[in-house]
Structure 1
């Protein structure tokens, strides 16, 4: 049976899982969840995931949520070369884990804080929110100096999480051209199989939502 992914394409963590699956050659059975309509609060979804969040996967009855944990699991179980994206070397893995935690605690919140008011409330983010994002983009740009990917010169699981978050800025047309390392890394990510398609699907979903609202 295929792995079922409950997702919303606008969600950065959902797209991180989709990118990981594409990279390891895993086909997913996608089941969209309309968060604005409250589908995640339906009894059948809560019975599966009491945290009522996406992404959630069902792997033949094995249920998981939280995108970073999902990607580690999918890579461990389904990749023919799992160490390529998540090496066993303690220092290499530590760098990947560090970037995953940076994304979770700092980078993604800064982006969501900026994008959410525009996307959902049609209002401009406040000055503090703008500064927080600009500061994080400067920090992340510096982190990427001399690297091809976020944890070194090889693609890793951390790139999917930070890539999903970075992609959200396209929703509101945020200009990242001043951050040359981010732009170069983003272009490498978009060149990966299926990633451009995932990003385009996100933009189409946002456009459709805007037309109907």
Structure 2
């Protein structure tokens, strides 16, 4: 049975799953969920996922949500060489887990805090939100110093998660050109097969939303 992904292309965690699936060669059956009209709160969706969030996957009745857990599962089950993206070596895996938690606790919240007023209230973020994002971008840029990818010199599951978050900034045209390490890493990510297409789909959906 195919793996069905319930998603919204504007969601960073959803794109993280899409990037992971593309990289490991897994074709997903996509079902878009309109969060703005409340499709995720309908009884049939709540029956599947009481946390009413995306991404959610359904694999012949096996249901999962939370993008980091989904990516670990998909990589373990469907990647021919799962250790490439999520090594068993304790130190390497610890670095990947560290970056996953960094995104969850610091990086993604700073991006969301900056973007939410722009997208949903049509107003500029306050100075605190601006400073938090600038601080996190500076921190992330320093963390990438001397690395090709976020957890070292090899692509890992953490790159999809951070890539999903960082890609959000393109929606509002945030200038990251001064963060040279972030720019170089982002260019490597976009060069991966299928990743540019996912980003372009997000930008198209954002443009459609903003023009409606």
TM-score with structure 2 setting the length: 0.99
- SS across alignment from 1:37: coil
Following the alignment from structure 1 to structure 2, what is the Cα–Cα distance between the partners of residues 65 and 120? 24
Deviations 1:134-177 (A, max 9, x none): 00000000000000000000000000000000000000000000
Give CA deviations for 1:89-144 in whole Å, capped at 9, x if unaligned.
00000000000000001000000111111111110000000000000000000000
Equivalent residues in 2 for 1:85-164, closer than 5 Å: 85-164=85-164
* Equivalence for 1:63: 63
Structure 1 CA distance for aligned equivalents of residues 25 and 119 of structure 2: 32
State the alpha-carbon separation in 1 of the partners of residues 211 and 142 from structure 2: 38
CA distance in 1, matches of 2:119, 2:26: 31
1:74 aligns with 2:74: yes
Summarize the alignment of residues 166-177 of structure 1 with structure 2, pairs less than 5 Å apart.
166-177=166-177
Runs of at least 5 residues in structure 1 that lack an aligned partner in the other structure? none
Distance 2:56 2:194 in 1: 20
Shift of residue 182, structure 1, vs aligned partner: 0.2
C-alpha distance in 2 between matches for 1:180 and 1:60: 44
Q: Name the counterpart of 1:185.
A: 185
Give the Cα separation in 1 of the matches to 2:22 and 2:208: 25
Task: Give 1:30's aligned residue.
Answer: 30
CA–CA distance in 2 between the matches of 1:176 and 1:77? 36
Per-residue deviation at 1:17? Answer: 0.2
Name the structure 2 match of 1:15. 15
Aligned structure 1 segments of 4 or more residues deviating by more than 2 angstroms: none
Q: RMSD value over aligned CA atoms? A: 0.4
